[in-house]
Amino acid sequence: MRGSLSNDIVSIKIEEGSKKPIALHEKSLFGKIEADSLNLSLIEACYLLEKGRLNIYEDDFECSVGYIIDLLKEQDLFGKYVVYRDLKDRGFVIKTGFKYGSEFRLYNRGRGPGQGHSDYLVKIIFENYEINALDFASYVRVSHGVNKKLLLAIVDDDFDITYYNIEWTRP
């Protein structure tokens, strides 16, 4: 499939007779369908490019994986991409968690928006980042308030990830 990069969005034109973009959205739950295009975030597009499922073009020049990764690094999104890729490879369906103050919402395999609620909120923290106890408590409180588990993804300087499942408990 061919995607066009513009303003950090990769658009795949849905042409008559072409079912691949629709299947990518409906079966694999990538992106959003808007008008006659499937629009992917740069993170989703990079994942599909790495997996050989998408070719990305910017002004008719084909983008390499390295070029897209450089764009992610320029925007401080590479750590987020590493977590996205790891969770996607583990079979999770991933959607934005912006509404909940987190990076992602996770659905277990076989589920997604419209097929039930997400199971986790993912908050990404870099190993050298100092976190305020009140901020941490607010992450836990929000996830508990919307009946989700909080998955804390700690990313180190080598972009290795350690996950912690955080749950609210009453004393």
List 32, 73, 117, 164, catalytic entry = 117
The reply to whether 81 belongs to the active site is no
Minimal CA–CA distance to 1: which of 51, 35, 43?
51
Which run of H or of E encompasses 20? helix 20-26
Pairwise CA distance, residues 121 & 165, whole Å: 10
Give the dihedral sign, CA 29/30/32/37: negative
The reply to whether 107 belongs to the active site is yes
List 107, 120, 123, 139, catalytic entry = 107
Minimal CA–CA distance to 31: which of 1, 60, 61, 59?
1
Residues 6 or more apart whose CB falls under 8 angstroms from that of 164 comprise 151, 152, 154
The reply to whether 123 belongs to the active site is no
Catalytic residue numbers, as ranges: 107, 117, 148
